[in-house]
Amino acid sequence: MDRVALRGLKARGHHGVFPKEREEGQTFIVDLALGLDTRPAAADDDLAKTVHYGIVAEEVVAVVEGEPVDLIETLAERIAQACLKHDGVQEVEVCVHKPDAPITVPFDDVTVTITRSRV
């Protein structure tokens, strides 16, 4: 399976279990790897036979900016389901970064990574 990857998609969301997270929001970063067969698109040089990653990026940002959820696990699942709605996408790996998570000790990042497929 071929991969189309988008790295570092940034959007502001209001996800989290604490009231401050819901009220003030924070930046979330999303990395995606979409699994699909790119051979038909390459053979015909035809965008319609692959996934339009610009549209996927816009949809992912809309999910992050959309309805708040408590857990980034839930956010990752919603993003994965949005990606799998594209006909050619057979599998998706989603990594959601929450670099401003409310943790009381020094840290670089918090991430949740999931893989989902049509099967």
For residue 82, what are the contacts with CB-CB under 8 A and spacing of at least 6? 56, 59, 60, 63
Laid out side by side, the sheet with 26-36 consists of: 2-13, 26-36, 91-97, 111-117
Among 91, 111, 114, which Cα is nearest to 101's?
Answer: 111
User: Which amino acid makes up residue 74?
Assistant: T
Are residues 102 and 72 in contact, defined by beta-carbon separation less than 8 angstroms?
no
Q: Is 20 a catalytic residue?
A: no
Structure tokens at 34: 């979409």
Catalytic residue set: 98
